[in-house]
Amino acid sequence: MFRTLCLLVLGLFVNEALAQTPAKYSFAVVPQYSAVELHKDWAPLIARLSKDTGLVFELKIQTSIPLFEASFLKGEPDFAYMNPYHMVMAKKAQLYVPILRDAKPLTGVLVVRKDGSYKTLKDLNGQKIAFPAPNAFGASLYMRTLLSEVAHIQFAPVYVKTHSNVYRNVIREDVAAGGTVNVALNDEIAEVREQLQILYQTPPVASHPVVAHPRVAASVQKVVAQAFFALTQDAEGRSLLNAIRIPAPVAVSYQVDYLPLEKLQVEKYLIIE
């Protein structure tokens, strides 16, 4: 009954949105993983959104995080899934607004080899540390800020493009440690996880949001948010949400969830390419 009611309400929003807005929207996804993995995870969900809303969404996957950043800073995607500090950047540059996020907070984690010699943060002083990209928030930007400003560790950052590459660089001992996030580490295969241990965790922050450009009508933004929420009501929908790491979508507020990130003073560690 509840699912039927959700779909009826969603249908009312869809009819209103279709009556006054274009039918095709771009949907960009931050490239935390390889393009192949992202397409496998996101393409079925985008197809389901199109089916449930009557709108057409075009999935956009850049080959690197810097290219993704350049795109949203120019206001190119209509919708996007991005990291928490990207939300701050997108708000300042283009007035993007968050429409939903997963209920579980994001935690950055620093991993080392389980059988290695690095047991404390001080052991990492003067060493190389791998990160997926300069502005990957929990894994890199926030982590580098805390290591430098709070732990007072001097280190050489090495940017290796993906979380999976971080783990493999640590395992091969090309670097002493690697920055990642809880969700990505939990996604990794057991063979890799079993060789790593967590040395440090950041304080939790609001997780990656789905955002909309302000040119997208408020009615369409509401349609998309309601479509995500309705996915929790059936098995296929829950599977799609699990695949994109938003198993429990909730409504979001920039002022409550992301404005506090402006006070973390991570700007000096931003690298815009």
Which tens digits make up the pLDDT trace of 1-30?
545 555 554 555 555 544 455 479 999 999
Give the domain range for residue 113: 108-201
Q: Is the same domain home to 50 and 88?
A: yes
Whether 7 and 95 share a structural domain: yes
**pLDDT tens-place string over residues 63-120:** 888 899 999 999 999 999 999 999 999 999 999 999 999 999 999 999 999 999 999 9
**117 and 196 inside one domain:** yes
Q: Are 136 and 220 within 8 A, CB to CB?
A: no
Of 152, 262, 227, 219, residue with least CA distance to 16:
219
Reduced to 3 states, what is the DSSP secondary structure of residue 181?
strand
Which among 177, 201, 225 is the end of a domain?
Answer: 201
Q: Are residues 160 and 247 in the same domain?
A: no
112 shares a domain with 149: yes
Number of neighbours of residue 236 by Cβ within 10 angstroms = 10
Judge if 37 and 96 occupy the same domain. Answer: yes
Assign 166 a pLDDT band (cuts: 50, 70, 90): very high
CATH number for the domain that contains residue 83: 3.40.190.10
Q: How far apart are CA 265 and CA 248, in angstroms?
A: 29
**Model confidence, pTM:** 0.84
Answer with the one of 165, 185, 201 that is the final residue of a domain: 201
The number of distinct structural domains making up the chain is 2
On whether both 126 and 235 belong to a single domain, the answer is: no
